Chains A and B, each alone.
Chain A
Amino acid sequence: AQRVTQPEKLLSVFKGAPVELKCNYSYSGSPELFWYVQYSRQRLQLLLRHISRESIKGFTADLNKGETSFHLKKPFAQEEDSAMYYCALYYGQNFVFGPGTRLSVLP
């Protein structure tokens, strides 16, 4: 079965510190990977996708096929980054989401 794992349920960092949210996937083909975010009392929304190679709100994510990872990084965390983050994998005709990591940025 295709799986997406996010090993940390909760990640707490101080404002201004670097943050890395881990995502690993298992898929033998060419993956399409996404990061979705859910801020408090808001809907789940797309943060970024690997094919776009974009930086959104200071976040970047690089696909590492050798390590089957798609970690989300930001050099300087802000308090408004506090949210639930979900890594997602598209394959065939299915989307698989990871269990999510709650990021808490402390003042």
Chain B
Amino acid sequence: GQQVMQIPQYQHVQEGEDFTTYCNSSTTLSNIQWYKQRPGGHPVFLIQLVKSGEVKKQKRLTFQFGEAKKNSSLHITATQTTDVGTYFCAEISGGSYIPTFGRGTSLIVHP
């Protein structure tokens, strides 16, 4: 599958500030998944978005899937030091079940 573009590559924030990472694809996606990888750790599944315009929340995390199913975002409200890590989106294109990972956004939270 075509790799989805993810920005920014790095983001430094002060604890308590908000954070957003974006994924954009040139093609219409079937689904999009989000994973978090802590430093030295392995990717951990956060959520999967399937429907056009879908918005899902997990505590301080808000996930959105664009109306055209070509983009997605992850927003963290009031970051904490426990949010540190790399957040990957993974696209699933039509007819496939294999996710293709974006480059990831590394979040650094300064206390």
A and B form one complex:
no
